[in-house]
Structure 1
């Protein structure tokens, strides 16, 4: 079906209404995407089989990327492309690569291809760059690699170059690039005629554009052994900007706090309520601005989370009003939650008296918890993190002995290495179980047996041993053992990450 040209407004007054219409449409789009992502996060994955869990992770990763791309598109339509359409923040590379793997390993498996992702030990935990640009680069490179490879595998390797640049290399076992393709590779619709695969030739053009946006370099070549190689190189100056965020942020202890949540959307109420409950907070829900003020008149709260778009009274009006009430309300930390994250909207929200802004769709609980922690620390309500309690199935004495052996000078390095190894074991084990790859399961459980034993995770060690034994047998694989082991591994990863952050926060 041919595309119709966009209708042109007949007069300037009508043209002026286009941004307002787009902003309102954007609000509804964000609300719908927020419900989709929020609904995925509410699914209890403990009772799901590994295949279903991996597919949910794939959908979640793609959904969050869709939300970010939608935000950038709306910023462009509203003329607010200033590089800050999304709230700024460091990029936790391990989590980012996990999402990349969840999305593209599933795409590769649909074609019967292998997919491997590796990350060198010296790659930084956190980088500071434009996440959207990096996601678009990798999406287009990996899409081409999977599309043109009919048998074999696709790999993505992240490493550091000898001169300190971050390098991301994608190799595939496809036919490689023809001379005609290489000559026009980065041109707009530069795809040569006669190509049997679908597409317009926009992917590498976008890749080149996004690479320039990041200040990096892109190189393409055919491998001597066959297949194609695309290499992205990002000099340290483009991503090493003095960020101090850790790879995983512990959840703050809010067990002594009472939080007011002003939010009219039932799904968002449930998501925020569950996250606050997990952090130990008592909370009350106000379904609109008037009810929020009634709550503030009746009871004292330590923190307020205020949705900006509410019926009867907007969030901005609520914040302005509470700042004129009692002394406690004037000093109480306030975090605005809004689908409007453009520059002008942020300025108005801060001018009303908000201490921080969280975007919709709501971020992951780690980001949510850090925003709360930062707001509380600015007012002296939170005095830093305590060391996390160990998981109930873990022998804390064994873990403490390991820390004592490392000594004060090497403890941080030990925990960094342990965190990385556990995350790699999780990714490899999940992929191995999904693909029924017994060699991968044997390799990852071999590592996991040693790690779990070293830290005192006795039940996880036992399950890893059982998985390893199953992988050596020529008989159907028992998913129940993997379904029990993976949540315990996830819990151990959370514990180690929180322990790392707590130790770094100590004076």
Structure 2
């Protein structure tokens, strides 16, 4: 059976941008749907599975930030689909606000076609087509094996178990520090600890832990302590699940 092409949703109130972006992505083999406002984006996400969302930040009505918050409230796996912010504004703090709202990356208009395709392809590699949808069929594995495969190719498969052991030790060390920082409402330390563990979590495929840590870092940077607190409270469970899954493999 032929694999379905990756499905992308483009949400933007600018018709020219939607049309040009759709043509570019379809030429590369992607299946593209379009929405002209935030509410239409949320409705499309609730009705159909997507692999990636390109979302304008400044839309009338439900803006991109609030739209992303609505997406993150959807049932999994749709709540975890990567959302890339697209904006004509590049003011200080904009990137942090986008990440704090739950977006995964940030592009500034005008966007060159090669840059758009590069970031879409990068996120498709990190979140292979259908990976988000697999959870609907019962795949709630906290570890992304695709990331582990990449890590093995970049290093050496024979030393991967040792590297995993190092990562597990770091999780077990930094997890309590994150909990202590949360209890003390020490947002600077919380941001620092989340940042320190985030990249390694991505590298070792701890996808849900990595997403929470990214959100904590961005929320702390933006001063959104309520969101930082909510995300930090999920870290112990996510960390335990990631460690257990990795130890079962190695």
Q: TM-score, with normalisation over the residues of structure 2? A: 0.49
Structure with more contact order per residue of length (Cα contacts < 8 Å, sep ≥ 6): 2
Q: Report the structure, 1 or 2, having the larger helix content.
A: 2
Which of 1 and 2 has greater Rg?
1
Q: TM-score, with normalisation over the residues of structure 1? A: 0.25
